[in-house]
Amino acid sequence: MASMFAPTLSGFGLGLSLIVAIGAQNVFVLRQGVRREHLVAVVAICALSDVALIAAGIAGIGAALDRMPWLLDGARWAGAAFLAGYGGLAARRAVRPGGSGLTAGHDPGRATTAAAAIATCLALTWLNPHVYLDTVFLLGSVANTHGEGRWAFGLGAAVASVVWFTALGFGARLLGRWLSTPRAWRVLDGVIAVLMLVLAALLLAPALGPAHE
């Protein structure tokens, strides 16, 4: 049992260091947490998706994907298009004096539907190549260096994901009092719009750069 503690702790540390980085998925979870909309479903999708991808990486899927780079290229373009579209919607909310994005807390009359929230969360998770690079490739590769402790490493990484998304989503409610005015929400949506568009550009940068020799 003691021999499994080290790889588990290592997996937790590496998994947390990767997932804490600001990204489209984290921004969406934060926004849903502040608005208190469909939070359980959103947190569950993000955490369970990470668990599935980490397990796939440890099981060797990363090596198979490495031989089919076109799959990641396709996800890259689809993800960039989605991020750009989501950024455009956030920008529209920021410049519009009223609308669904400007009320802190849950407002049934202006709430995002469960289907829309779930679809957005799935797209931000599964159309993002960086998610695959971090979970399937990086965590999967490092886990396999631990030999018999690789699944303990994966367990640690999975726990890190569950802890992070739970803390981010439900902890975001504490921001409600600072985001109780339309002006504050417009600023937040403006930041989200810029971040999403920048992430879309960064996502396409490798594909649009000079070809590797």
* Continuous H helices in 20-134: 24-35, 39-58, 61-66, 69-95, 114-126, 129-132
The predicted model scores a pTM of: 0.68
- Dist CA 86 CA 26 (whole Å): 14
Structure confidence at residue 100 as a pLDDT band (50, 70, 90): very low
Nearest to 83 by CA among 203, 196, 192, 191: 196
**Arithmetic mean of pLDDT, 2-19:** 81
Q: Which H or E run contains 190?
A: helix 182-208
Per mean pLDDT, which range of 7-11, 15-19, 62-66, 158-162 is the poorest?
62-66
Close Cβ partners of 172 (under 8 Å, ≥ 6 residues apart): 29, 30, 31, 32, 33, 34
Q: What is the pLDDT of residues 24-60, one digit of tens each?
A: 888 899 889 888 889 999 999 999 999 999 998 888 7
